[in-house]
Structure 1
Amino acid sequence: MMQRHHYLGAGPLCGAQIRYFIESERYGILGGLAFSAAAWRVSARDRWIGWDDSSRQQHLNQVVNNSRFLILPMVKVKNLASHALAMAAKQLTIDWPAQYAIKPVLLETFVEQGRFSGTCYKAANWMCLGQTKGRGRQDKNNRKLLPVKDVYVYPLRNNATTVLSAGTVRRKRTINTSAIDWADEEFGCAQFGDQRRVKRLLTIARDFYARPQANIPQACQTRAKTKATYRFFENDHHTMDTILAPHYEATRMRCEQEKIVFAVQDTSSLNYSTHPATENLGPISTQKDGVIGLLLHDTMAFNDDGTPLGLLDVQCWARDSDDFGKRHRRRQLPIEQKESYKWLKSYQAVAALQAKCPDTMFVCVGDREADIFELFDMALGDPNGPQLLVRARHDRLLDEDNGLLWEHVQRQAVSGIQEIKVPRQKKRKARIAQLEIRFAQVQLKPPSWKNKLKPLTVWAILAQEINCPDDVKEPLQWMLLTTIEVTTFEQATQKLAWYAGRWGIEVYHRTLKSGCKIEERQLGSADRIEACLAIDMVIAWRIYYLTKLGREVPDVPCTVFFEDAEWKALVAYKTQQSIPPDNPPTLREAIRLLASLGGFLGRKGDGEPGTKSLWLGFQRLDDLAVMWKIMIPHIDPKNKSSPSVQYPRYG
């Protein structure tokens, strides 16, 4: 039966296995299921569980793979598939221990995108964790010839992740007390199978952090370290995912300490046209033979104060030039085959994190590109999942004859007036804008070509500028859609403030491109660039994090971020005193001193330093610290008396 009707045939299946018929007393055989040993390594699953190599090897036999599922094509019974899955899962908990003396804790399966939508698994309460990479066990050359599949899991116990991750070595993370520890905090738990590789990763990260804008030879400084760095990026095991995995874990622990976390998604293009010999790049413009490079879609976590907590998900890919021209078929293609599926994949990554941090509220924030009906459908389909806050792009049709979205919300009464400060731009003066706030609960109808989807109930918030100056050509206007209930003016303005915080990821991307010079990396192939990019992305986050933390906790000692040689050399250089004080400066004082090396003047109207002056300051600080370490042993101990240091007063 399977050989004849299932597109993969009957097998062979791997390892331990059990097969079931789906049988009706009246109609006979309706289909069948097969369960077998779990896949050895699945990034989305392993990350959700929290596995390292040793814990995977220890607990993999407690995961069972639903390797075949078939309902005969002539059988048309509503809800039969999801009902059969539920019955099979219940029966398997009895039969598998009886057959193999092992109690299964988790079921997994893989649903090929474009061929199936996974509806029956969703209806049976299976969770989609992400996608496979399109690689098999024999894909040593990373050719990705296999179709990409969605990864679904079904926990057979409420504490499935706890049971499966038992024995995983998790080092206790604490707040840094010295700057040299930061690399170990973000990368020290990397699973490369060889601790020497981990040490090399830490060395590369520290070198890149000390000189953010330098090329690789300049950052590494010695021939031996430069050669070792290039070899590190050539290793097929050092991928973007494996390098970022420990940083994701560090981000999770920072998120656990917050009541609310904003998971902001955005897409950026990386231009490598100046390196045409680089392999496996793709077009990033609207022209098939135009600019080449990579596309980057990342999700950054921010707390309520706008401080970046770290990356939650990163997707990097090169477009296939053969895909040009498929835009006219976009309505016929399932969402899984569209580039816009990146938003759903990142949402799934945040949903997996939400399950691990039940006391933290996650809100996924996206710009107008994220106004995707399937994304809202996914968010509303999981009552325990992250919330969604998106700027509307489409004037969607509403259910119950309410007309179009914009017209309907504009008909609502004004709930209040919100004043905001609009900063000055090149051709626009700074001004105080007055916004009329309206909101309403709406039911969005699915597009006509997606009639299988049901209407969705969300809340819409409209902010429109009034009394606009004559020289302003485009008054401010925002329409936000959210899965969070909005019934008051205060709640509406709160969501507007939340969305305004999305600007933080734009600052991060500017730091990544201009501060870390990622588009100038010359590594010969896209895979090596992605591995290097993983480190650069954490470096850029660290610089941005330092900038924000100096404003959030300005009075903590600067030793939280700066090692002794760094702050002492910095103080000595700026104060022209060879003997540093006994007590280190505060974090705010040290950051402003560092920024002054990068051109920050600290005038009354300058405010606090930004990321640009900091990354420029880092370029000089490393040399100052090295010279300090060389010269300090030669200072006569008898003359070491700590002077009274007056730090420069700014503003």
Structure 2
Amino acid sequence: MFSADTEQWARDTFHHSELGDRRRSKRLVQLASSLANHLGQSLVQSLKSPADIEAAYRFTRNQAIDPQAIAEAGFAATVENTKHYECLLALEDTTSLEFSHSTVRGDMGHTTSNNYSRGMFAHSVLLFAPHEQHVVGLIEQERWTRNIKDYGKSQNHAKRPYLEKESYKCERASRAMETRLGEGMSKIISVCDREADLIEYLAYKTSNQQRFVVRSMQSRCILESEDKLYQYSASLTDAGMRTVQVRQKGGRKARRAVCEVRYAPITVKVPSNKKGEPVELYYVGCQEREQEKGLNWHILTSEPVRSKEEAERILDYYEKRWLIEEFHKAWKSGGTQVENLRMQSKENLERMVVILAFIAVRLHQLRYLGLNKEEAEKQSCEMILSPQSWKILWSKQEKRKPPKKAPSLYWAYINLGKLAGWYDSKRNGRVGWERLWEGWFILQTILEGYLLAKSLDL
């Protein structure tokens, strides 16, 4: 969970690191702590002395340090945290990291349909506790670059073996999680978007008794009807209505969608061009009827769905997918600014990319705590701020003597945003990523100045 003390957080996250030398592990903790205290800043801006800056650059350039070893330390810390929960959603998604700086572009591959784009891909799995409403941490992340010479290879996608396709990443992620979690895998429910709707993946998950919720990408053939799945779903009995909050994305405005809910057990046939046995699943549909191009979810799951309440629970799980997208925002444009990194090689870059991924999770935890206003108002702000920090923030924002009892977590969340110039113009109480990390940075800067002045008796 979120720790107010960045040094303690860095130790908790990376103390498992096996980098071949204890001094490297110590440097990793120091580097992560400094970067977490100076979100979005470069190495030069986040470190205090020329010696620290040089040591940090030596760390990122050290070919003996495997970026995956850094990641495994963070994953191990997440595994420890899973022991506190009975049910966890493994929210999965893929994003691209694009780098424009000329020094590293030569080591990168293409990331879009534009052959001139350069960067890497990352498939991340973020654990979320649905009952406790906690962002727990990263449990898996795979990073890769495409070979520029293979640009356009997707045209031959259907002819390539499953194990050679990028889409195998979903099964690979599940295998990695099972290796790390062992018996704890039984409490994990993978929640994936349409990229995971592969008959091989569905068969793997069911045959290994792994739990999942996957949004359907295609209307599959099923044993229950001569019609395909989507047509069959229209014949199912309406189980009631559900209101879904459609989130703003790109040019799409946020809105409330009123949907019909349907559910049924189904058996998915294996496509004629592939081998295997039919896969027994449960189907949950959530369709908006009042708009021609409205919300339309077809969900496949291993979880038993025999009632409206169980169908609603599956939809609740799927709706939490936005949290992995918010992690990407914290990692990229809204927090650690990972795409602004300037390194001399792909390996150097990847070491920093991994460290910043775990810092982004920390920022994500902070923001999610604040977004849950009802719970955040019950919690003390000392969950995220030291006594000195919140008292400085209080004096800066409230212009009066701090109270004896620490104010609420929600107060801290709102006032960190206000410290960076945020104004609740939309009246929704949601501080954006940029203002939140900027407010955090400003507060840390003020705190450092205060501590320096105090040490000099100014």
Normalized against structure 2, the TM-score is what?
0.91
Distance 2:104 2:309 in 1: 55
Distance 2:288 2:168 in 1: 33
TM-fit CA distance, 1:416 = 1.5
Distance 2:103 2:426 in 1: 47
Any idea what SS the aligned residue of 2:63 has? coil
Distance 1:239 1:530 in 2: 9
| Aligned with residue 190 of structure 2, among 352, 360, 364 | 364
Q: 1:525 to 1:279 in 2, by over 3 A?
A: farther
Q: 1:429 to 1:526 in 2, by over 3 A?
A: closer
Q: 1:621 to 1:586 in 2, by over 3 A?
A: same
Partner residue, 1:373 = 199
Partner residue, 1:532 = 352
1:388 and 2:215 are equivalent in the alignment: no
Any idea what SS the aligned residue of 2:85 has? coil
TM-fit CA distance, 1:553 = 4.8
| Aligned with residue 317 of structure 2, among 493, 498, 519 | 498
Any idea what SS the aligned residue of 1:301 has? strand
* Greater Cα shift, 428-437 or 513-522: 428-437
CA deviation profile, 1:591-639 (whole Å, cap 9, x unmatched): 3222221233357923243433221112211210111102335779xxx
CA deviation profile, 1:214-243 (whole Å, cap 9, x unmatched): 122111243221111111011123222211
One-letter amino acid matched to 1:204: L
- Contact conserved, 1:178 with 1:559, CA < 8 A, in 2? no
- Contact conserved, 2:110 with 2:117, CA < 8 A, in 1? yes
Partner residue, 1:211 = 38
Distance 1:322 1:176 in 2: 45
Any idea what SS the aligned residue of 2:427 has? coil
Distance 2:147 2:260 in 1: 45
TM-fit CA distance, 1:280 = 2.2
Distance 1:608 1:290 in 2: 36
Distance 2:254 2:145 in 1: 40
| Aligned with residue 466 of structure 1, among 277, 289, 292 | 289
Q: 1:393 to 1:175 in 2, by over 3 A?
A: closer
Any idea what SS the aligned residue of 1:267 has? strand
Partner residue, 1:302 = 128
Partner residue, 1:586 = 408
1:562 and 2:380 are equivalent in the alignment: no
TM-fit CA distance, 1:324 = 3.1
| Aligned with residue 512 of structure 1, among 324, 331, 337 | 331
TM-fit CA distance, 1:363 = 0.6
TM-fit CA distance, 1:467 = 3.0
Any idea what SS the aligned residue of 1:285 has? coil
Distance 1:584 1:398 in 2: 58
Distance 1:330 1:427 in 2: 30
Distance 1:354 1:340 in 2: 23
Q: Which has the larger radius of gyration?
A: 1
TM-fit CA distance, 1:190 = 1.3
One-letter amino acid matched to 2:364: Y
| Aligned with residue 343 of structure 2, among 486, 500, 523 | 523
TM-fit CA distance, 1:435 = 1.0
CA deviation profile, 1:321-367 (whole Å, cap 9, x unmatched): 23234334333322111111111111112333452426x62110111
One-letter amino acid matched to 1:562: L
CA deviation profile, 1:561-613 (whole Å, cap 9, x unmatched): 32344233322322345x75544333332232222212333579232434332
Distance 2:249 2:30 in 1: 41
1:572 and 2:395 are equivalent in the alignment: yes
Distance 1:232 1:349 in 2: 27
Any idea what SS the aligned residue of 1:478 has? strand
Partner residue, 1:455 = 278
Distance 2:455 2:179 in 1: 52
- Contact conserved, 1:459 with 1:482, CA < 8 A, in 2? yes
| Aligned with residue 265 of structure 1, among 87, 92, 96 | 92
Distance 1:424 1:300 in 2: 21
How many residue pairs match? The answer is 453
- Contact conserved, 2:125 with 2:141, CA < 8 A, in 1? yes
Q: 1:197 to 1:363 in 2, by over 3 A?
A: same
Unaligned runs of 5+ in 2: none
One-letter amino acid matched to 2:366: L
Distance 2:226 2:9 in 1: 54
One-letter amino acid matched to 1:337: E
1:621 and 2:437 are equivalent in the alignment: no
Partner residue, 1:545 = 365
| Aligned with residue 476 of structure 1, among 295, 312, 337 | 295
Q: 1:307 to 1:405 in 2, by over 3 A?
A: same
Distance 1:270 1:187 in 2: 23
Partner residue, 1:50 = none
One-letter amino acid matched to 2:190: C
The 5 Å alignment of 1:118-129 reads none
- Contact conserved, 1:558 with 1:586, CA < 8 A, in 2? yes
> Where is the helix percentage greater, Structure 1 or Structure 2?
2
- Contact conserved, 1:369 with 1:393, CA < 8 A, in 2? yes
- Contact conserved, 2:419 with 2:442, CA < 8 A, in 1? yes
Q: 1:329 to 1:467 in 2, by over 3 A?
A: closer
TM-fit CA distance, 1:246 = 2.3
CA deviation profile, 1:458-506 (whole Å, cap 9, x unmatched): 11111111234xxxx6211111111111111111121111101101111
Distance 2:33 2:354 in 1: 14
Q: 1:559 to 1:463 in 2, by over 3 A?
A: closer
CA deviation profile, 1:135-177 (whole Å, cap 9, x unmatched): xxxxxxxxxxxxxxxxxxxxxxxxxxxxxxxxxxxxxxx9857
CA deviation profile, 1:46-76 (whole Å, cap 9, x unmatched): xxxxxxxxxxxxxxxxxxxxxxxxxxxxxxx
- Contact conserved, 1:300 with 1:313, CA < 8 A, in 2? yes
- Contact conserved, 2:6 with 2:36, CA < 8 A, in 1? no
Distance 2:256 2:365 in 1: 29
TM-fit CA distance, 1:189 = 2.3
Normalized against structure 1, the TM-score is what?
0.65
Distance 2:402 2:264 in 1: 61
Identical counterparts, % of pairs: 27
Unaligned runs of 5+ in 1: 1-173, 637-651
CA deviation profile, 1:154-210 (whole Å, cap 9, x unmatched): xxxxxxxxxxxxxxxxxxxx9857443111111122122322212211111111111
Q: Pairwise CA RMSD of aligned residues?
A: 2.5
